[in-house]
Structure formats: C-alpha cells, structure tokens
C-alpha cells in the first residue's frame, strides 16, 4: 500500500497534516547525521589497513604506495573479511548483493 503524502509548509522540515486521499509519488526522506563513521564500511577497511601498517617504516612515498596497494589487494581476496566490514555496520545490504 502506498504511503500517504505529507504536506509541508514551504521548507519546514516538521510534517504537516497527512493527506490520505492520494498515494505519495515522492520518495521518502530520512534525516541522517552529518557523518556517521560507524555506518560507513570503508572506515573499517581503513582502520584494518592502518593497523597492518602500524609498525612498518618506508623511506619514500613510492615504497609506501606499493605496500598500501599490496595490503589492499590482499584484502580484496579475503571475502570473509570484506563481508565482516559490511556486517559491522549492521545495515541491510541484501538488496544490493
């Protein structure tokens, strides 16, 4: 069943009266925090990568670049690790997988 449309006065974010006479064709809008690192799976990737690089020293940016690419490539071939990064967000990714 389509959800009812809600009227808003100008740009007011507070919902007005619900109009149950017609279905709503506009998409639903959900207000999210400006940034929530715990909902972003890439934050887990960077955290894992930084931990794996913690005690290593490289003398040039080129050496560091090669090492980072190698570590990211290793992660790419560990599907369980990548699924864990997605699962850590506790979001439902099933429709997208």
The domain segmentation of the chain, as residue ranges, is: 37-96
Distance of CA 53 to the CA centre of its chain: 24
Residues whose CB is less than 8 angstroms from the CB of residue 8 and which lie 6 or more positions away in sequence, other chains included: 14, 15, 16
What is the number of other CB atoms lying within 10 angstroms of the CB of residue 3? 11
Per-residue pLDDT of the chain (97 residues; tens, 9 = 90+): 455 555 544 444 445 444 455 566 777 777 767 787 888 888 999 999 999 888 888 889 999 999 999 999 999 999 899 888 888 888 777 776 6
């Amino acid at each position: 069943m389509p959800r009812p449309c809600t009227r808003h006065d100008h740009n007011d974010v507070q919902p007005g009266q619900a109009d149950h006479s017609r279905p709503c064709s506009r998409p639903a809008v959900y207000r999210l925090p400006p940034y929530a690192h715990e909902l972003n799976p890439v934050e887990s990737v960077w955290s894992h990568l930084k931990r794996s690089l913690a005690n290593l020293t490289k003398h040039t940016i080129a050496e560091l670049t090669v090492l980072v690419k190698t570590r990211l490539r290793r992660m790419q071939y560990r599907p369980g690790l990548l699924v864990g990064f997605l699962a850590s967000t506790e979001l439902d990714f099933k429709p997208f997988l």
